[in-house]
Amino acid sequence: MDPVISISNLSKEFSTERGEQFLAVDNFNLEIPKNSFTCIVGPSGCGKSTVLRIAAGLEKASAGEINYKGAVIEKPGREIGLVFQEYSLFPWLSVIENVAAGPEFAGINREKRHEEALGYLRMVNMLDFRDSYPHELSGGMRQRVAIARALANHPDVLLMDEPFGALDAHTRILLQRELLKVWEMTRKTVVLVTHSVDEAIYLADRIVIMSSRPGRIRDIIDVDMQRPRSRAMPQFGKLTDFILKALEQG
């Protein structure tokens, strides 16, 4: 099957404060199949966010390119939805207005966009909070709204950068489970960046392991475990061990 996103020979250099060039991502190659769930894991600073920001059209590649359905991604577009760790919802808009903001911008009428927003809020279990404001919500609730908001734009691909990174362990596990449900319902192509090996194994079809300085792909692993997965499965433990060792060597 044709990949939805195709990353070829991608490199990214930054200039340091001292004016030196610093290679953050080095010759990164990856094809993302339609409807797949890919997780990218790697130590802090290995270039995960940089790769995702280029895929989102928020940053330019120094060399190589990222394609969406065969065309180079050069700026943010509706086909590619984003959920980041601290995805700032608009504080002055209610939950439902936040979710409907994209469709409003696209000129969808109020009735239709609110009806759709309600559907997505139901999907992420936030229907009861439709009239609340972001400051009234917990971190986990805000990330649920952020997911609903991304989905309301009908993206083809969902890019998620440490979306649960700021949440407590229990809420994190809850949201992982819900994200899988949403993914099973919508079958969006998901690329999720995390430094949590456990999260990657719980969620992904395929795990891309990065090493740092410069950020390179160290290994790509297919996860052949049935969902819902349990941390108590022997394969889960084995895979955790394997990936942690690979990361240590990086």
Interface residues with ligand ADP (CB under 6 A) are 14, 24, 42, 44-50
What whole-number distance in Å separates Cα of residue 26 and Cα of residue 11? 5
Q: Which is nearer to ligand ADP, 134 or 214 (CB)?
A: 214
50 contributes a contact to Mg ion by CB under 5 A: no
Q: What is the DSSP string of 194-222?
A: ES-HHHHHHH-SEEEEEETTTBEEEEEEE
Whether the Cβ atoms of residue 50 and residue 214 lie closer than 8 Å to each other: no
194 contributes a contact to Mg ion by CB under 5 A: no
State the nearest-atom distance from the C-beta of 91 to Mg ion, in Å: 24
State the nearest-atom distance from the C-beta of 49 to Mg ion, in Å: 3
State the nearest-atom distance from the C-beta of 45 to ligand ADP, in Å: 4
Residue 45 binds which entry of ligand ADP, Mg ion, none, CB below 5-8 Å type-dependent: ligand ADP
At 34, phi and psi to the nearest 5? -60, 140
Residue 47 binds which entry of Mg ion, ligand ADP, none, CB below 5-8 Å type-dependent: ligand ADP
155: Cα within 13 Å, side-chain hemisphere? 25
Three-state secondary structure along 43-66?
CCCCCHHHHHHHHCCCCCCCEEEE
49 contributes a contact to Mg ion by CB under 5 A: yes
State the nearest-atom distance from the C-beta of 53 to Mg ion, in Å: 9
Q: Which is nearer to ligand ADP, 52 or 121 (CB)?
A: 52
Residue 14 binds which entry of Mg ion, ligand ADP, none, CB below 5-8 Å type-dependent: ligand ADP
Helix 169-186 / helix 139-152 crossing angle, nearest 10 deg: 20
Residue of minimal Cβ distance to ligand ADP: 49
Q: What is the DSSP code (8-state) at residue 176?
A: H
Binding site residues, Mg ion, CB under 5 A: 49
